[in-house]
Every structure is written in structure tokens, then in C-alpha cells.
Amino acid sequence: MNESVRYERCQQVQLGVLTESQEGIKASESDVPQGIGNVLCTHDGVLLKKANAEHIAELNTSGSLSLVEYSQPRRRLYLEWQPNDSIMIADDSQDQGDWALVDRISGRTRTTSECSAFNTKPAEIGSNGNAGTARARIMRALLDDLAAVEVRHRGQTIRFMRKSDHGVHCEFFFQHGNADLFVRSMRQQHFIESSETSRGGSEEYAILNTENQKLKKTFAELDIGEIKASQLPRDSWLPNKLAGFLGTIPDYVQPSFQRSPKSRPGSLVHNDRQTSPSDNYQFIKLSGSTNSACSSNSQSRGESADKSPADSELENLNAQDEKIVNNLPARQSVHRGQPLNEAQWREFQTRDGCISDSQRIKEIIFRGGIVPSLRAEVWKYLLNYYQWSDTEVERLERRKLKSLEYYKMKAQWLSMSTAQEANFSGYRDRKCQIEKDVKRTDRTQPFFAGEDNPNLLLLQGILMTYVMYNFDLGYVQGMSDLLAPILEIQVNEVDAFWCFVGFMNMVFSNFDIDQAGMKTQFAQLRRLLEVANAPLFNYMCSHDSDNMYFCFRWLLVWYKRELGNEDVLKLWECLWTRLPCPNFHLLFSVAILDQETNVIIDRKYEFTEILKHVNELTGTIDLKRTLETAEAIYLQLKGSEALPNDIRHIIGEPLLPPVDGEVRPEEEPAYSDDGFDELGELTPEEKRRNDELLEEALERSLYLNYM
Amino acid sequence: MAKTYDYLFKLLLIGDSGVGKTCILFRFSEDAFNTTFISTIGIDFKIRTIELDNKKIKLQIWDTAGQERFRTITTAYYRGAMGIMLVYDITQEKSFENIKNWIRNIEENAAADVEKMLLGNKCELNDKRQVSKERGEQLAIEYGIKFMETSAKASINVEEAFLTLASDIKAKTEKRMEANNPPKGGHQLKLTEIRTKDSWLSRCSLL
């Protein structure tokens, strides 16, 4: 599999880096801390939950967690956890063995370099009798080898991430109280710096290396540190003035909330940080959660709210800002219209077959969809297969060229030999996944129903050809859902393919390897909800549900699984017009949630119930009403004068003039024409050659089909 | 509001795409089998309450999308899982080979003490079998977990598998609780110590 290959390669590099850094710090016996360290902060009653294999025997044991400074052989900061024998469970060895099973396995995956990198080898510390054993039980990690701290479960669990690969180095559970004091103490001493909050309840801090600790202290003395150290991650609410002021702070000490608006709404990992001078910050990559989706989640940790004065100061600012923003104009009533019909369509066609007023057509489609008989034709325009300005002759030519291109690509996979396939795992995996999914796509639709339905072969063929067209993306689950309705309308496989390509160009990022596109959308959706429906947003924040994960299926396949087939067609054609704004599909989510607000709040739904409720909305969503609500919400946002720039960016409104220091979000890349540029530049000779190729490809393709 | 159950266990179904996770869940929760398949997008769960030794156990079973691409999303749900069903398809060698990757995934994302079980599904398709029962058993022994061959379609062993997993979790839970409440009140600190040993156990008693 492509990803796994990448992953392994990546691992090797990381191992290399690890070895290098070891050499760099001369991780030898002489480097093991000696003498008595100076304890900078400590907390008792802390269970070791996860650690290197060496510490299996200590898992779930209580002890004290400390930050210790050793001066011998040189000044170093260590994170230390030491079991506390007085509260050890007397005889639990039987049990321990049973529970340690898993860890014995995980132990295998660890490399020796990893073990030694953290000085956790008992042998290195001491090997004489009892003293040695006791010392071996101490879990110690050089703070410089750790990248980040993650606090979760209402502050009861704290995790430390390795710098080498951002994996979990160790995890602790605070039995008594929570990790707040410990974290606060580390923060105040500038060992760590708040990076971002993650999914509901969890918070993350970047561990500063020695150099930065000094820098931070210096800045703290200059009194800017107060703001930075507090760092409620309410980035986007920061009034421009404050943002501008902070913008003058050198990049390498800039708090994470003052990030460029472009990276702010979604980005899970802020790699931009890693390229900053001398690689000061390591932002952790948290698998499965959107750090991103968390700009203002102060409520979610309500129980452990120890706020510094600067925290509350920021909150006041936020409150003011919120007041302005939530002052949206009243919701107007919006009405849907009639679908684009054949008479109208004819009126827009010029004598040579061009479409005269595409903007007006899109408006009609946005408001009412398209009559079924016109769909096959008009979709080709909406999906950028045909150009509005094409004459009929040009259209025929385009179609011919595109057929040629399609069959060429189709012949590529059809002619793949068994041996080739056997040696091409990336291809095999994609093919295998397509075969699995074609069998279970829209089988209740008459077009795909029944055993040996030939349309399934078409579906498969188009998806396979798409693999050859875009091998990097290949095939990802959900794509067959997007293609099926298109094929059903187009019927012709070439037309369906190019329409599908157009659709994929709009939603490409949904299927990204790292799911970055989905994460961005969760973050954007969250922001839209925050502004458009504050009560629900606040409720979700306080119930750990503001990560928006429950909208995953909605966004991945554009509500395909939520609506009946006819409604899917209608919704998609509306959304393809990209009217009234980009990301209208997100406003559709906001509208659905808007309609469910009372149910969610009144019934006191938690995350699981919200997910269940949302999943069960399938088949109950009133398309017309929801589209009206979505448009009404759009008009409200558009009409709001104090709308923050990040929201303006999401809904494609002109941005307010930036205050000094504020970074303007980059404009969205223009909608690509996807390789149609070459049209009209062919010499007669090339045309003739193309025709020949087309015929040849068609023949080959037909022949192969019957093989 | 009165509780309608004694325990709530969160379980997870994982394994390659198309091995029959959703069908297993549907068989267990509705005792039915739908021949119109549909791939799972995102994540969903079903609930069924069972009874074991006079204790009502509510099982909340999460179903995930199998394709590797979605693991960043699905692994978010590993947390807090008390039991995991690892499913492969006996007619698909690859899905069996991938079990070790899934195990690795669990180690990285789920609690260390999560109870696991291996299921070889579609055992009614014996003529298409690519993975022998012995190999399944062998792998399970290697990982020290239980194993069953199941058929969601023919309703073989699905009920048994969930009951086994639930019963193992229950035993583990009760063992902890027992240790938590010795006949004569023991050392207070020790009690707290034991109660918080399992991240989910404490949550379990709060439900």
C-alpha cells in the first residue's frame, strides 16, 4: 500500500535522525545524570499509564512525577517518574502479568535506539543489587527529547510526546486532583508553551528547548509574556488591535493563537512552525483529533479552570468580541424556485450553440435545480466538462478528444498483465477496494440493482480509469458514492468519467491521505456554527462535542447518505453552481444542526447521542426547508458588518482591511479548467492523428472488454 | 432516572474493509442479515443489552470504516473502548495478514488493558476459504486472545463471540471491584489506588 510504504520510509529517516541526535548529545554513560537533582515541580499520586517496554512492571503503579534539574555532568532537565513503594499494591503480580500481556507485544515494536535515546535502560543507570533495581524503576526522560505535552480527561491524564516521531513517550494518570498545578508550574517556569487545544477537553503544550526557555524568560520579563503564557486559544476572536500588537513579536516567540488566518481554521499540524528559526517549536500531531477545530473551547475544561489573571482578561476581550459578532441581522425568509426547464435552457443558447448567460442559469439552478430531462446536458457544464462558451462544434470536438483520452487511460489498466499486477501492490490495493465497493454502491437504485447488472461494470471501469488518471489519490471509499448518481444520469461512461473528474476536483481534499481537507472543513464548520448558532455551539463545547466529527459522513460524500436519490441530485446541482458562496455545503450542515438545536439541547445529548441522532437523521431531512435555512443563514452572515475575516474568507466575502501585522488569508486557487486549454490549438495533422488514435483505442478497449 | 443496566461496555469492531463488520453488528443487534450491502462511511454504533449472571450489560458497539485512509478519524474512537473485535474474512488472505497491523493500531491508540478477540468471518463460504481455522487459532494464541470463526449471514457464533467478550470484560471488571472491596475495610489509600487503576473502570461504575 502506498501509505504504508511511505510510512516505513519515514520511519527509517526518523531512526536516522534519532541516531544522529544521539551522537550529537553523546548519549553515553557519562551523560547519565549524576548526583542529586533539583526538583523544580512535583506531584504525588500519579499512575504510570503508558511507557517504554522497560517499565511494564510499573504500569498502573502510583508514584510521583517531577521535573528535575541535574547539574552533573551538565545542566539538564529531566522528566522523572518514581514509583512510591508505600502505596504499592501488596501482591498483584498475578494480575499484573495478565494485564501486561499487551505491553509485551508492544514492547517488540520498540527499537533499541528509542530505548537508549531516553536513557531508560536500567543497565546504564546501575547494575548492583537492590539499589540498581530501585533506580531502574525510575522512568526518566530528557526534556529536550520530548516535543509536547497533552492534557486530557479533564486534566486527569497527561501525555508526553517524543520529539523523534511525535509518538506517545509516556502517559500518566493523576489520581488525586488533576495535572493542572503541574502543568501550570511548568508553564510558569517556561518549560512549555500552550500550543492548541484539541478535541473537547484536551489541551496541548509544546515543550520548549533550553534555548527557548531562556528566550521566553526574557520576554516574560519584558511583560509580553503574560499574554503569551496565558494563551486561551481564542485566536480568531482576538480583536485586530491586539492581533496587530502581537504581530510585532518575533515569529519564534509568537503564541500559537496568533497564527495566520489561513492556517488557523483547520490545519491539524502547523508545519509552518517547524520551519521557523532554529526549529523552536514542535507542534504535536494528534491522530484522530482536530486540534484545529478548537479555537475557543474554554468551557470544556470547566471543572479544572484555574485561570490566571491574563486568562480572564482575554476572556473579557472575547466576550466583547462575541457581542459584536453575534449581533447578526434577523433571519430573512427565503424561498426556493422552479427548476431550470427546457424552454429556458433553449433561450440561453445562441445560434452556434454557446450558452449566453451562465451566471443567470446558475442562479436559476441554485434556486430550483434542473428538470430531470436536462440534467445529463447541464451537468456537463456545471462539472466543468463542457465550457459555457463552447460552440456546438467545439463541444463535439472536445467530447471526441476527451473520449480518446478516456479510452487511452482505460486501456492502460485493461492491459495490465497478471505479472504486472502481482508486482504492483499500490494498483492491486486500489483495484481490490473498488471491487469491494462497487458491489455495495446504490444497489437499491434500479440503475444498479440486481445480480450481474452491467452498470456495475461501468461503475468499476470508471473508477479504475480514475485510478490511472490520478494514481496518487487512487480510490478512496466514498468516491463510488459520488460517481453512482453521475453515471446514472450520464449513462455514457466517458461523459460520466469527465463529470466525475469535475466533481472530484471540487471535493478532492475530502479524500486526502492525511484527511487534512476534512479537518479543515470541521474547523470551518465549527466556526460557522459558533457565529451562526451560539447557543448550540456553546452547548456542544460544554459537552465535548465541538469537534464536529459527527458531520463526517455529511461532508465526505455531500449528504449522499442522508437524502433520497432525487434529493441528492437536486442538492448536488445546487452546490455545483457554487452559489451563493463557496462552502455553501458547510452552511447546509449548519442549517441541519440549526433545525436540531432544540432536540440536542433539550434532551441533553452528549457526544455519543449527538452522533447517533445525526446518523439517524438519514431520510428525514427536508431538502427544501434546509436549503432555505442555509441560504437565510448565509444572508445573515453576509449582512453582518462586524463579521470576522476568517468567516468572510469561508463564505467568500471581501475581507476587511487588515490591521498591521495581520496576515491576509490567501485567495482560494482559481477553479482549474483541468486540461481543456489545449483545445483549438491542434493542427489538421494532429487532429487526424488524434482521430486515428481514438479509433485504435476504442477498438482495443472493446476487444479487451470481451477478452 | 433509574438505571436499566448494571454495566455499560464500549466495544469496537475493526478490520479491513469488506470483512463484514457492519453485518456482524447488524446480526448481533437486530438478528438479521441484509443482502443489500453498503460500505460504512465514518462511524456509527449500535446498542444491545444482554444479561450475564443476572447482571444487565449494555453493549455499545462501534462500527468503523475499514479503509486505511480513514484511520485518523476512526482511531479517535479507540479511546475508552473496553473490548475490541478484530475481524478478518476467511476468504481473503490479505484481511488476515492485516490483523497484525490492526493490533499495532490498537496498541498505539487504545488503552493497554483493552480486551481483544479475533473473528474469522464469512465461515459459511468454506469453498472459498483462504485462511484455515488453524492459522486463525495460531494467531490468536500468539497474541494471547480468544478466537472464533463466525458467519453473520448464517448466524454462526456471532452471539457467542459478543457474549464471550462481554463476559471477559465483566470478569475483569468484577475482579477489580472485588479487590476494591475486601471483606474488612483495608488501607484507604490502597483502595483509591486500585479503583483508579483502570481508566475505564472508574467511569464504568459512574454510569
Which chain B residues are within 8 Å of A289, Cβ to Cβ? 76
Cell of A246: 502581537
pLDDT tens-digit series, residues A658-673? 665 555 554 444 443 3
Note whether residue B184 is domain-resident: no
Note whether residue B67 is domain-resident: yes
Binding-face residues of A in 364-403 toward B, CB within 8 A: none
Q: Is A511 on the interface with B (CB under 8 A)?
A: yes
Nearest to A612 among B45, B74, B197 (CB): B45
DSSP per-residue letters across A443-454: TTSGGG-STT-H
Query: Which pLDDT does position A322 carry in this prediction?
Result: 46
Tell me which of A350-354, A483-487, A640-644 is least confident. Answer: A640-644
Mutate to test the interface with A, among B22, B39, B139 (most CBs of A within 10 A): B39
* 3-class secondary-structure state, position A9: helix
Q: Which amino acid is residue B60, in one-letter code?
A: Q
Q: Is the pLDDT of residue A262 over 50?
A: no
Percent with pLDDT over 90 in chain A: 43
Binding-face residues of A in 662-691 toward B, CB within 8 A: none
Note whether residue A692 is domain-resident: no
Total domains in chain B come to: 1
Nearest partner of A696 among A684, A706, A685, A704, judged by Cα: A704
pLDDT tens-digit series, residues A439-474? 999 999 999 999 899 999 999 999 999 999 999 999
Note whether residue A480 is domain-resident: yes
DSSP per-residue letters across A143-193: GGGEEEEEEETTTTEEEEEETTT--EEEEEEESSS-THHHHHHHHHTTSEE
Query: Which pLDDT does position A701 carry in this prediction?
Result: 57
A436 to chain B nearest CA, in Å?
A: 6
Which chain B residues are within 8 Å of A168, Cβ to Cβ? 108
Domain membership of residue A373 as a residue range: 349-510
Note whether residue B185 is domain-resident: no
Mutate to test the interface with A, among B43, B191, B196, B207 (most CBs of A within 10 A): B196
- Using CA of residue B191, residue B196, residue B197, residue B203, what is the dihedral sign? positive
Is B192 in contact with A175 (Cβ distance < 8 A)? yes
Query: Which pLDDT does position A133 carry in this prediction?
Result: 47
Which chain B residues are within 8 Å of A436, Cβ to Cβ? 17-18, 39
Per-chain mean pLDDT for chain B: 86
The Cβ-side half-sphere exposure at A456, using a 13 Å CA radius, reads: 19
Q: Which residue of B has its CA nearest to A103?
A: B112
Main-chain dihedrals φ then ψ at residue B81, nearest 5 degrees: -75, 135
Cell of A147: 516535543
Per-chain mean pLDDT for chain A: 73
Alpha carbon B34 to chain centroid, angstroms? 22
Cell of A59: 504500569
Q: Are residues A50 and A149 in the same domain?
A: yes
Q: Are residues A520 and A496 in the same domain?
A: no
Is B72 in contact with A556 (Cβ distance < 8 A)? no
Q: Are residues A503 and A528 in the same domain?
A: no
DSSP B42: S
Pairing of strands B115-121, B146-149: parallel
Note whether residue A93 is domain-resident: no
Note whether residue B191 is domain-resident: no
Is B41 in contact with A612 (Cβ distance < 8 A)? no
Helix residue ranges per DSSP H, A194-327: 210-221, 225-230, 240-246, 271-274, 309-325
Which chain A residues are within 8 Å of B37, Cβ to Cβ? 439-440, 443
Mutate to test the interface with B, among A11, A102, A609 (most CBs of B within 10 A): A102
Binding-face residues of A in 543-572 toward B, CB within 8 A: 549, 552-553, 556-557, 561
A579 to chain B nearest CA, in Å?
A: 27
Beta bridge partner(s), residue B61: B11, B46
Highest mean pLDDT among A214-218, A306-310, A644-648, B72-76: A644-648
Query: Which pLDDT does position A96 carry in this prediction?
Result: 29
Compute the distance between CA of residue A168 and CA of residue A159 in angstroms, rounded to an integer: 7
Note whether residue A65 is domain-resident: yes
Q: Are residues A502 and A529 in the same domain?
A: no
Q: Which residue of B has its CA nearest to A60?
A: B197
Beta bridge partner(s), residue A63: A46, A83
ipTM: 0.86
Nearest to A287 among B44, B109, B179 (CB): B109
Binding-face residues of A in 105-164 toward B, CB within 8 A: 105-106, 109, 153, 157
B139 to chain A nearest CA, in Å?
A: 13
Query: Which pLDDT does position A682 carry in this prediction?
Result: 56
Is B196 in contact with A173 (Cβ distance < 8 A)? yes
Q: Which amino acid is residue A508, in one-letter code?
A: F
Note whether residue A520 is domain-resident: yes
Q: Is the pLDDT of residue A642 over 90?
A: no
Nearest partner of B204 among B165, B178, B174, judged by Cα: B174
Q: Which residue of B has its CA nearest to A439?
A: B37
Kindly report the CATH number assigned to the domain that includes residue A572: 1.10.472.80
Beginning with the edge strand found earlier in the chain, give each strand of the sheet holding A146-152 in spatial order: A139-142, A76-83, A62-70, A38-50, A168-174, A157-162, A146-152, A203-207, A192-197
Note whether residue A639 is domain-resident: yes
Q: Are residues A545 and A496 in the same domain?
A: no
Query: Which pLDDT does position B95 carry in this prediction?
Result: 96
Q: Is A478 on the interface with B (CB under 8 A)?
A: yes
Q: How confident is the model at residue A201 (pLDDT cuts 50, 70, 90)?
A: low
Compute the distance between CA of residue B160 and CA of residue B25 in angstroms, rounded to an integer: 13
Q: Are residues A200 and A55 in the same domain?
A: yes
Alpha carbon A58 to chain centroid, angstroms? 35
Q: Are residues A607 and A499 in the same domain?
A: no
A532 to chain B nearest CA, in Å?
A: 25
Q: Are residues A592 and A463 in the same domain?
A: no
Percent with pLDDT over 90 in chain B: 65
Q: Is A49 on the interface with B (CB under 8 A)?
A: yes
Main-chain dihedrals φ then ψ at residue A110, nearest 5 degrees: -80, 150
Q: Domain boundary at A492, A510, A528, which?
A: A510
Highest mean pLDDT among A174-183, A305-314, A641-650: A641-650
Is B42 in contact with A552 (Cβ distance < 8 A)? yes
Q: How confident is the model at residue A142 (pLDDT cuts 50, 70, 90)?
A: confident
Mean pLDDT of A53-75: 81
Q: How confident is the model at residue A5 (pLDDT cuts 50, 70, 90)?
A: very low
Q: Is the pLDDT of residue A686 over 70?
A: no
Binding-face residues of A in 158-197 toward B, CB within 8 A: 167-168, 173, 175-176
Q: How confident is the model at residue A111 (pLDDT cuts 50, 70, 90)?
A: very low
Note whether residue B192 is domain-resident: no
Helix residue ranges per DSSP H, chain B: 21-30, 71-74, 93-97, 99-109, 133-143, 158-180, 188-195, 199-206
Highest mean pLDDT among A89-103, A121-135, A332-346: A332-346
Is B70 in contact with A515 (Cβ distance < 8 A)? yes
Q: Is the pLDDT of residue B190 over 90?
A: no
Highest mean pLDDT among A68-82, A176-190, B25-39, B74-88: B25-39
Percent with pLDDT over 70 in chain A: 64
Compute the distance between CA of residue A37 and CA of residue A234 in angstroms, rounded to an integer: 38
Q: Are residues A539 and A587 in the same domain?
A: yes
* 3-class secondary-structure state, position B52: strand
A493 vs A274: which has the higher pLDDT: A493
Kindly report the CATH number assigned to the domain that includes residue B123: 3.40.50.300
Compute the distance between CA of residue A85 and CA of residue A65 in angstroms, rounded to an integer: 14
Which chain A residues are within 8 Å of B43, Cβ to Cβ? 549, 552, 611
Which chain B residues are within 8 Å of A62, Cβ to Cβ? 193
Q: Domain boundary at A459, A485, A510, which?
A: A510
Query: Which pLDDT does position A11 carry in this prediction?
Result: 34
Q: Domain boundary at A602, A623, A651, which?
A: A651
Compute the distance between CA of residue B165 and CA of residue B11 in angstroms, rounded to an integer: 9
Compute the distance between CA of residue A637 and CA of residue A630 in angstroms, rounded to an integer: 11
E strand residue ranges, A380-533? none
Note whether residue A20 is domain-resident: no
Is A288 in contact with B74 (Cβ distance < 8 A)? yes
Is A478 in contact with B41 (Cβ distance < 8 A)? yes
Kindly report the CATH number assigned to the domain that includes residue A499: 1.10.8.270
Which chain A residues are within 8 Å of B74, Cβ to Cβ? 288
A338 to chain B nearest CA, in Å?
A: 33
Mutate to test the interface with A, among B113, B117, B202 (most CBs of A within 10 A): B113
Residue A190: CB partners within 8 Å, gap ≥ 6?
Answer: A208, A213, A216, A217, A220, A225, A229
Task: Tell me the angle at which helices A534-542 and A516-532 cross, rounded to the nearest 10 degrees.
Answer: 120
Q: Which residue of A has its CA nearest to B79?
A: A288
Q: How confident is the model at residue A258 (pLDDT cuts 50, 70, 90)?
A: very low
Note whether residue B203 is domain-resident: no
User: Furthest-apart CA pair in chain B: how many Å?
Assistant: 60
Q: Is A99 on the interface with B (CB under 8 A)?
A: yes
Is A168 in contact with B70 (Cβ distance < 8 A)? no
Helix residue ranges per DSSP H, A87-146: 93-109, 112-117, 122-125, 129-136
Place of cell 482511531: B75
Domain membership of residue B123 as a residue range: 5-178
Query: Which pLDDT does position B42 carry in this prediction?
Result: 87
CB A54 within 8 A of CB A110: no
Is A514 in contact with B189 (Cβ distance < 8 A)? no
Q: Is the pLDDT of residue A215 over 80?
A: no
Is B73 in contact with A436 (Cβ distance < 8 A)? no
Which chain A residues are within 8 Å of B116, Cβ to Cβ? 102
Binding-face residues of A in 415-444 toward B, CB within 8 A: 432-433, 436-437, 439-441, 443-444
Q: Based on the number of CB atoms within 10 Å of its own CB, is A555 exposed (0-12), middle (13-18) or buried (19 or more)?
A: buried
pLDDT tens-digit series, residues A297-350? 333 333 333 444 444 444 444 444 444 445 789 999 999 999 999 999 999 999
Q: Are residues A480 and A524 in the same domain?
A: no
Nearest partner of A133 among A86, A98, A85, judged by Cα: A85
Compute the distance between CA of residue A228 and CA of residue A233 in angstroms, rounded to an integer: 10
Q: Is the pLDDT of residue A655 over 80?
A: yes
Beta bridge partner(s), residue A38: A69
Q: Is the pLDDT of residue A616 over 80?
A: yes
Q: Is A618 on the interface with B (CB under 8 A)?
A: no
Nearest partner of A467 among A439, A440, A428, A506, judged by Cα: A428
Note whether residue A464 is domain-resident: yes
User: Furthest-apart CA pair in chain A: how many Å?
Assistant: 97
Q: Which residue of B has its CA nearest to A445?
A: B36
Compute the distance between CA of residue A374 and CA of residue A376 in angstroms, rounded to an integer: 6
* 3-class secondary-structure state, position A263: coil
Total domains in chain A come to: 3
Note whether residue B122 is domain-resident: yes
Q: Which residue of B has its CA nearest to A50?
A: B112
Kindly report each contact of residues A313-320 with a partner whose C-beta sits within 8 Å and lies 24 or more positions away, as own/partner. A313/A230, A314/A227, A314/A230, A314/A232, A314/A234, A315/A232, A315/A234, A317/A237, A317/A238, A317/A239, A317/A242, A318/A232, A318/A234, A318/A237, A320/A239
DSSP A349: B
Q: Are residues A553 and A470 in the same domain?
A: no
Q: Are residues A57 and A194 in the same domain?
A: yes
